[in-house]
Amino acid sequence: MQKKLGSMAAFIVWLALIANPACAAREYWIAADEVQWDYAPSFPLNVMNGKEFTAEQRVFVEQGIGRRYLKSVYREYTQGFRTLKQRGAEEQHLGILGPVIRATVGDEIVVHFKNNTRFPASIHPHGVRYTMANEGAPHSHTAGNEHQPDGVVAPGGEYTYRWGVPERAAPGPNDPSSIAWIYHSHVDESADTNAGLIGAIIITKKGFEKSDRTPADVDREFISLFAVFDENASLHLQTNLPACNGLCDPDNEDFQESNLKHGINGLVYGNNQGYSMRKGERVRWYILGMGTEVDLHSPHWHGATLLHNGNRLDVTEVLPAATKTLDMRPDVAGEWMYHCHVNDHINAGMMTNFIVQ
């Protein structure tokens, strides 16, 4: 009898989830993987002008280690980490960013994490609600004689994070129908993020979400991380050093300069793909920042204007770990420049194009 009651209770819960999918957990299977990353796959061609890289530009794509580095990145898998998920056309622009985690108010985000790298790693979320056991950052708090879990995962290990989505994680009164938060590894935060472990969480306002939690009042979404990846501070510097040609002294300023990769989603000089839209579409841009004191960025869109919390602009600003959400209605067809307006960052390749058809 007790067994039948248990089965009946499970069936009722299942019916409730079907009737109200908002009650279901938003479940993800994400691994930290080691990959060979190419900052400029078009080399020796500069996509922005169709010409070969100049001597000044080659500092960032050929000198020292060059343009290919071993990095740690977040990648999404099917349930149980059976197979790697392939990204669709709408995700092509994400570049080095991890999979987009989506939810709305009342959801529970469940992330099954596997660390396939040689260093400890974690997933630390911004904005959402979590306990210290789900923080993804090391701490020394204990309960009795037992160390409290903190979500830091050793190489080869696995961990499941559970994060709530309260009202304070959702768009505010002046926000559009969705906003972005950052997630990243927080074991050795600077080394982890420079290695590439970063992604975006998008929370959609309750009542504006589709079944997949994308905003119903938007036709296209794009995410851009403006960041100078400092390969001198990456977890993988020592592993990447044997690939160096010529000047390879980690203490040399010229070598250090060659390891500063000024990119949008980890790509430089127009190598981003997938920023494509049509005239008149409702296009939402999520801007992310990360890095250090040089990461003061001013993204600029040519040929269009945007709204940020009701204010009209074509240039915005973003600081490390900060985010912005902006809406665009492109009205002129073309292949438009999209770049950081800081002069040093332009020269180092923090630029690409967006296409309006």
User: Which residues does the annotation mark as catalytic?
Assistant: 340
Instruction: Answer whether 122's CB lies under 8 Å from 137's CB.
Output: yes
Find, among 121, 120, 221, 204, the residue nearest to 169 by Cα. Answer: 204
* 261 contacts: CB under 8 Å, gap ≥ 6: 39, 60, 228, 229, 230, 231, 268, 349
How many C-beta atoms surround the C-beta of residue 180 within 10 A?
21
Which H or E run contains 253?
helix 253-258
With b for 16 or more beta-carbon neighbours within 10 A and e for fewer, the 83-92 pattern comes to eeeeeeeebe
In angstroms, rounded to a whole number, what is the distance separating the alpha carbons of residues 204 and 94? Answer: 19
**Token pair 């989505």 in the structure block, residue:** 165
Pairing of strands 26-38, 68-76: antiparallel
β-partners of residue 34 are 72
CB atoms near residue 319 (< 10 Å): 15
> What is d(CA 319, CA 296) in angstroms, rounded to the nearest whole number?
5
∠ CA(89), CA(296), CA(238), 5° rounding? 75
| Residue 276 to residues 42, 291, 353, Cα–Cα distance (Å) | 19, 27, 9
